[in-house]
Amino acid sequence: MTSSATLGLLGTGIMGAPMAVRLARAGYTVKAWNRSRDKAAALEADGVSVCDEPAQAGRDADVVIIMLSSGQVCDDILFGDAALLDAMRAGSTLIVMSSIPVETARRQAAEAQMRGVRYLDAPVSGGEKGAIDGTLAIMAGGDKATFDDVCAVLAHLGNPVHVGPAGSGELAKLANQMIVGNTIATVAEALLLAERGGADPAKVREALLGGFADSTILRAHGQRMLDGDFQPGGPAKWQYKDTSTAVALMASMDLDLPVTRLVDALFQAMVEHGDGDLDHSGLIRELRRHNALPV
């Protein structure tokens, strides 16, 4: 797909705004919509046209990208009063890059197909920095030919990989979120163990870098935990949304994955204690509460 294509993008929050900017700077005509118009207005300086209604962003677009907060919100925009899907022309492509339940993605794909609209579920990992730098991991489910047609668009946002039929992108994202959430919990426990045992947790982290325990989580989120810097790149409430979705899905498959169940319960407690808007690395605060330590 050439850079002369017209793209609609719905949802200009932490992730969607830098994605819209990257696509506009790549030469695409980008029309954006956000429920709070103020958040989208700043994008006009980068050549993004801001729409007042979702249908405006979808009408006459070759590709429509959705980056909204949940499956229910996506459904409301696609099928509710906004009727975005009905505004899209036959032959265009809908790419839902939100983290939504697998069954929701499959249902949306079927609804799109009935209207002659091609569909991909293509959730991402990499946080705000990845969205800004164009280094997102993009996990795409849907028809392979559709993926091939829009791969050039997605490549401006990161590394797109086709992982299977509709819903498979969301399965891959759940696997990603399980690894991320479970590793955050383990790093937090390790740093607390070091602290309570009398070692310098910062030096323990430094000593582990480069060994088998090294990871992006240890490097980035381990440092956040040490600094107490929980300005959200990935809010805990979204991590909990994904872990709870994974728990529900594994139950429907008669799978018992106990580590994920335990971590899901920790994120639930973190949200219930009012820390849902903090970065998910703030889980160390919940583990401090759990152990009656100062937060």
Residue 59: CATH number of its domain: 3.40.50.720
Percent of the chain past pLDDT 70, that is, above it, reads: 100
- Tokens 């204690």 map to which residue? 273
Whether residue 131 is predicted with pLDDT greater than 90 in this model: the reply is yes
The string of pLDDT tens digits covering residues 54-100 is: 999 999 999 999 999 889 999 999 998 878 999 999 999 999 999 99
86 and 230 belong to one structural domain: no
Whether residue 1 is predicted with pLDDT greater than 80 in this model: the reply is no
Question: Residue 122 corresponds to which tokens in the numbers above?
Answer: 């293509």
**258-270 vs 168-197: helix crossing angle, rounded to 10:** 70
153 and 237 belong to one structural domain: no
pLDDT band at 134 (very low <50, low <70, confident <90, very high): very high
* Domain's final residue, options 136, 165, 194: 165
14 and 154 belong to one structural domain: yes
The single residue of 39, 173, 237, 241 carrying the catalytic annotation is 173
Whether residue 3 is predicted with pLDDT greater than 80 in this model: the reply is no
218 and 114 belong to one structural domain: no
Taking CA atoms, 76 is separated from 56, 69, 73, in Å, by 16, 11, 5
How high is the pLDDT of residue 69? 86
The domain total for the chain is 2
Is 295 a member of any domain? no
Nearest of 114, 125, 118 to residue 144 by alpha carbon: 118
182 and 120 belong to one structural domain: no
101 and 223 belong to one structural domain: no
145 and 205 belong to one structural domain: no
How high is the pLDDT of residue 18? 97
Percent of the chain past pLDDT 90, that is, above it, reads: 91
pLDDT band at 234 (very low <50, low <70, confident <90, very high): confident
How high is the pLDDT of residue 120? 98
16 and 75 belong to one structural domain: yes
**71-79 vs 102-114: helix crossing angle, rounded to 10:** 10
176 and 161 belong to one structural domain: no
Q: How far apart are CA 24 and CA 134, in angstroms?
A: 13
14 and 137 belong to one structural domain: yes
Is 1 a member of any domain? no
Is 181 a member of any domain? yes
Backbone dihedral region of 158: left (phi > 0), alpha (psi from -120 to 50 degrees) or beta?
A: left
pLDDT band at 4 (very low <50, low <70, confident <90, very high): confident
Whether residue 38 is predicted with pLDDT greater than 90 in this model: the reply is no
pTM above 0.75?
Answer: yes
* Domain's final residue, options 101, 130, 165: 165
How high is the pLDDT of residue 82? 75
What domain range is 252 assigned to? 171-290
DSSP 8-state assignment for residue 235: B
Q: How far apart are CA 19 and CA 12, in angstroms?
A: 8
Nearest of 203, 225, 227, 197 to residue 286 by alpha carbon: 225
216 and 275 belong to one structural domain: yes
Nearest of 188, 213, 221 to residue 291 by alpha carbon: 188
On average, the pLDDT of the chain sits at: 95
* Domain's final residue, options 142, 165, 188: 165
Q: How far apart are CA 79 and CA 88, in angstroms?
A: 12
CB-based contacts of 37, cutoff 8 Å, min separation 6: 50, 52
Residue 222: CATH number of its domain: 1.10.1040.10
Please enumerate, as own/partner, the contacts of 132-136 that have beta carbons within 8 Å and a separation of 24 or more: 132/18, 134/22, 134/158, 135/159
Catalytic residue at 39? Answer: no
How high is the pLDDT of residue 52? 93
Is 157 a member of any domain? yes
Q: How far apart are CA 142 and CA 167, in angstroms?
A: 7
The string of pLDDT tens digits covering residues 239-275 is: 999 999 999 999 999 999 999 999 999 999 999 999 9
Is 219 a member of any domain? yes
Is 23 a member of any domain? yes
Are residues 174 and 239 in contact, defined by beta-carbon separation less than 8 angstroms?
A: no
89 and 200 belong to one structural domain: no
- 63: amino acid identity, one letter: V
How high is the pLDDT of residue 76? 94
